[in-house]
């Protein structure tokens, strides 16, 4: 009887392992298909230089390998018309930044040349991925969460491609980490990738009242 139960247990385990393997395989195939879709979309966009297109694909692959549950549907739509423009260093303080209301990544060329380009393009691409209307992430139309938004974007960027010296968002990162401890990382994560500023504000109010 024990041998029968042991055999049954082993069979169940094999089924579970096979199911897990198949699920992972499906995720990998879907991910590869999605990256190919993004390449096709980028190829059709004449506003983006070829070398920048290649870099965008690499950064998206890095992002997707970590955040497989984050939809890239919005990114695919935005990439169809995304523009990358050189901007005056007096108007764009960062090496590059995303402007959701015009769907443009503005580049401060002198500053980008002396910076980690992959880092700042990743920061901008996270903006594209989470953009909605005239804002992105859990910022809102009133820009009440802009500092927190940039801090969280930079934390994600640091985790994906590494930190940079003389980071422009050092203070925002500190504030974001403190708020994360108060409301919980899951609240920040879900609010950011679902453009749900109201949920985050509610959680912050509740944390303050405790």
What whole-number percentage of the chain has pLDDT above 70? 85
Q: Comparing 89 with 151, which gets the higher pLDDT? A: 151
151 pLDDT exceeds 90? yes
* Residue-averaged pLDDT of the chain: 85
Whether the CB-CB separation of 84 and 45 falls below 8 Å is answered with no
For residue 189 the two structure tokens come to 């994560």
132 pLDDT exceeds 50? yes
Task: Quote the pLDDT of residue 90.
Answer: 74
Q: Which residues have CB under 8 Å from 196's CB, separation 6+?
A: 138, 190
For residue 10 the two structure tokens come to 């082993």
Domain boundaries, the chain: 2-209
Over range 57-71, report the average pLDDT: 93
Task: Quote the pLDDT of residue 184.
Answer: 93
DSSP structural state of residue 181:
H
Measured CA to CA, the distance from residue 43 to residue 181 in angstroms comes to 42
Task: Please give the model's pTM, rounded to 2 decimal places.
Answer: 0.82
Task: Quote the pLDDT of residue 18.
Answer: 46
- How do residues 91-110 score in pLDDT, each as one tens digit? 788 899 999 999 999 999 88
- How do residues 7-52 score in pLDDT, each as one tens digit? 546 555 655 554 444 444 444 444 577 889 999 999 999 999 888 8
* Closest listed residue to residue 39, CA positions, set 61, 64, 69: 61
Burial 155-170 (b: 16+ CB within 10 A, else e): bbbbebbeebeeebbe
Cα 110 from chain centroid (whole Å) = 25
């Amino acid at each position: 009887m024990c041998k029968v139960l042991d055999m049954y247990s082993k069979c169940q385990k094999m089924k579970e392992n096979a199911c897990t393997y198949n699920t992972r395989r499906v995720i990998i195939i879907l991910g590869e298909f999605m990256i190919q879709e993004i390449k096709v979309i980028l190829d059709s966009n004449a506003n983006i230089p070829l070398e920048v297109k290649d870099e965008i694909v690499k950064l998206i692959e890095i992002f997707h390998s970590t955040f497989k549950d984050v939809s890239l549907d919005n990114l695919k739509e935005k990439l169809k018309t995304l523009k990358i423009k050189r901007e005056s260093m007096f108007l764009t303080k960062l090496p590059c930044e995303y402007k959701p209301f015009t769907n443009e990544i503005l580049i401060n060329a002198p500053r980008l040349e002396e910076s980690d380009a992959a880092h700042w393009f990743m920061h901008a691409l996270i903006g594209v991925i989470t953009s909605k209307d005239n804002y992105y992430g859990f910022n809102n139309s009133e820009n009440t969460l802009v500092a927190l938004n940039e801090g969280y974007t930079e934390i994600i960027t640091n985790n994906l491609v590494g930190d940079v010296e003389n980071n422009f968002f050092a203070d925002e990162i500190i504030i974001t980490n403190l708020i994360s401890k108060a409301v919980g990382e899951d609240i920040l994560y879900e609010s950011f990738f679902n453009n749900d500023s109201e949920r985050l504000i509610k959680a912050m109010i509740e944390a303050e009242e405790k």
